[in-house]
């Protein structure tokens, strides 16, 4: 893993150096000055406190399964958190990782299909206060200060391990997902083809798409097609 004291964004670094980097190379920093989140949002993180890293995937067979990569990455992060003794880990489709309903990790998938994919992962490690949205960190939960770069190395290895298994045993990943599925059977609101709709989340499909019960039918949506999946309280 290539490490930097500070970068605008680890995903941007990979994008700018994509021709010089190899399949599965990864880039780390604990201070991003222009961290990016999904749907054009910024990814805010206090300098030096959290883990930010990105992994480059150039293997064409894996790039083709990009809808599943975010699912599998989320499962790997969830497995890491459980390994360090954290309970109540959940995955909010397509790729937020929550603990006690609060976000601890965000995953951003970008790339140029079918050539490469960049998996960007931000994990809240030692930041304890979060403004504006419901978030938490490893420190808030296990009360131990971990070194963000070491968390990143462990998570990165697990993500690569899971991604490498993708070809072999897809079924078990999807089965595993239901154990962590935050949205499962919840009433949700979502935006689909420009319309705001309400339905019920009904699990995910083997290709990583979300099943939604809508007007007594099941629709299957990918993360490109649907946005703002929110639970209705």
Question: Interface with ligand BTN by CB under 6 A: which residues?
Answer: 9-11, 32, 35-38, 41, 43, 52-54, 96, 106-108, 120-122
Where is 200: in which H helix or E strand? strand 195-204
CB of 63 to ligand BTN, least distance (A): 18
CB of 184 to ligand BTN, least distance (A): 20
| CB contact set of 211 (below 8 Å; sequence gap of 6+) | 201, 202, 203, 204, 205, 218, 219, 220
Chain mean position to CA 67? 12
| CB contact set of 157 (below 8 Å; sequence gap of 6+) | none
Q: Which residues of 84-113 are buried (b: 16+ CB within 10 A; e: fewer)?
A: eebeebbbbbbbbbbbeebbbbbbbbbbee
In this complex, which beta carbon is closest to ligand BTN, that of residue 107 or of residue 183? 107
Residue nearest to ligand BTN (CB): 106
CB of 223 to ligand BTN, least distance (A): 11
In this complex, which beta carbon is closest to ligand BTN, that of residue 151 or of residue 219? 151
In this complex, which beta carbon is closest to ligand BTN, that of residue 106 or of residue 208? 106
In this complex, which beta carbon is closest to ligand BTN, that of residue 120 or of residue 199? 120
CB of 9 to ligand BTN, least distance (A): 3
């Amino acid at each position: 893993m290539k490490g930097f004291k500070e970068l605008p964004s680890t995903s941007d670094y990979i994008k700018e150096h994509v021709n010089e980097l190899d399949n599965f190379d990864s880039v780390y920093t604990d201070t991003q000055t222009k961290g990016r989140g999904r749907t054009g949002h910024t990814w805010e993180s206090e300098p030096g406190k959290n883990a930010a890293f990105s992994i480059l995937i150039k293997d064409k067979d894996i790039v083709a399964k990009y809808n599943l990569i975010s699912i599998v990455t989320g499962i790997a992060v969830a497995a890491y958190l459980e390994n360090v003794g954290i309970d109540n880990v959940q995955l909010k489709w397509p790729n937020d990782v929550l603990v006690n309903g609060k976000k601890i990790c965000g995953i951003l998938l970008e790339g140029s299909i079918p050539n490469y994919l960049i998996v960007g992962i931000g994990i809240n490690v030692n930041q304890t206060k979060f403004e504006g949205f419901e978030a938490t960190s490893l420190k808030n939960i296990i009360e131990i200060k971990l070194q963000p770069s070491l968390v990143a190395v462990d998570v990165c290895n697990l993500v690569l391990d899971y991604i490498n298994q993708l070809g072999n045993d897809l079924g078990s990943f999807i089965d595993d997902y239901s154990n962590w599925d935050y949205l499962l059977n919840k009433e949700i609101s979502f935006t689909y083809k420009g319309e705001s709709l309400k339905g019920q989340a009904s699990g995910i499909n083997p290709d990583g798409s979300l099943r939604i019960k809508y007007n007594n039918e099941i629709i299957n949506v990918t993360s490109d097609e649907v946005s703002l999946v929110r639970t209705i309280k």
